[in-house]
Amino acid sequence: MKKLLAALAASSLLLAGCAPAAEDSASTAPIKVTLIAHDSFAISDESIAEFEQASGFELEIIRAGDSGSLTNRLVLTKASPIADVVFGIDNTFRGIADENQIIEGELLPVDFADVCFNYDRLWFEERGQTPPASWRDLTQPEFEGLTVVTNPLSSSPGLAFLATTVSAFGEDGFEAFWADLRDNGVKVSAGWEDAYFTLFSGSSGNGPYPIVLSYCSSPAAEIRDNGESQTAALLDEGFRQTEFIGILAGALNPVGAQALIDFLLSESFQSTMPGLMYVYPVNQDAAIPAEWSEFGPAARSTIGEELDIAAGRESWQAKWVSIFE
């Protein structure tokens, strides 16, 4: 009997040792790390599995609209953070993050892309119409009702282009350009996803607008069976948009957050970013698709780097609203 009881006790200890850590009431270490990102964030199942296996943490992803909506949501929830890590605050909305101290430590660059206009080459070829040579041409009568942009209050490309016009025309001149653009029938969409994938004629949505505010790398996503891209980008006077990642102040899992930050900056993940998100990785060892040199090159020239966006943002946005209200 004593031998039987000893065997049962040993068996119980063995079974207890095999129980998952999550079921151990004495264990308080979090097993999940939560990432909040804009809607354009993309990660493969293979990358998720790689991170989870290497770190031991389960990855949860929350999507929160465009970069502006994402940043504003984090400000509203900073007293009770809803995630551990943020992906996608960019240099146009970074000032809001800094002002509200929503980041623990610093924001780290994770990718960059140049905001510029794309046009549907086939749309213009089929109609025998010359496409615009510059975004400055979009106020001309021949482009009336052909352009869709994104709202600079909620969209990072929208705010980037607003800053571009401030840089080009000055604090006292950019409003006239926007008034002319309004009078020429520009369509304003809340976010890039809707503008590009629903309203733009050159993407999968086959929308009614052949000119869209997007990125210089976007034509690399529109290569057709003939080996040519259906779209082209206006490569002059773009805006260099840098996206950041960071650990949220008050994160419930700072250890998992740091592990995720390290993974998002790794060569492995960064090499997937061009194909999934059509952005340039910051890791110089990451792979970039060969076709990008032809169809998705960086802008030939950029403007706006000299602006203090954090200081001017609210004033520019208020003037923009007065034009479109």
> Cα torsion for 298, 304, 306, 312, to the nearest 10°?
-140
The reported pLDDT for the residue numbered 237 is 97
CA distance linking residue 104 with residue 203, whole number of Å: 38
Domains of the chain and any CATH numbers: 30-112+241-295 (3.40.190.10), 113-239+297-324 (3.40.190.10)
- Going from the C-alpha of 267 to that of each of 35, 281, 322, the distances in angstroms are 19, 9, 45
Per-residue pLDDT tens listing for the chain (325 residues): 333 334 434 433 333 333 334 334 335 667 999 999 999 899 999 999 999 999 999 999 999 988 888 999 999 999 999 999 999 999 888 989 999 999 999 999 999 999 999 999 999 999 999 999 999 999 999 999 999 999 999 888 999 999 999 999 999 999 999 999 999 999 999 989 899 999 999 998 789 999 999 999 999 999 999 999 999 999 999 999 999 999 999 999 999 999 999 999 999 999 999 989 989 999 999 999 888 889 989 999 999 988 999 899 999 999 999 999 8
Predicted TM-score (pTM) above 0.85: no
- Going from the C-alpha of 70 to that of each of 83, 93, 105, 235, 240, the distances in angstroms are 12, 10, 19, 28, 20
The reported pLDDT for the residue numbered 14 is 36
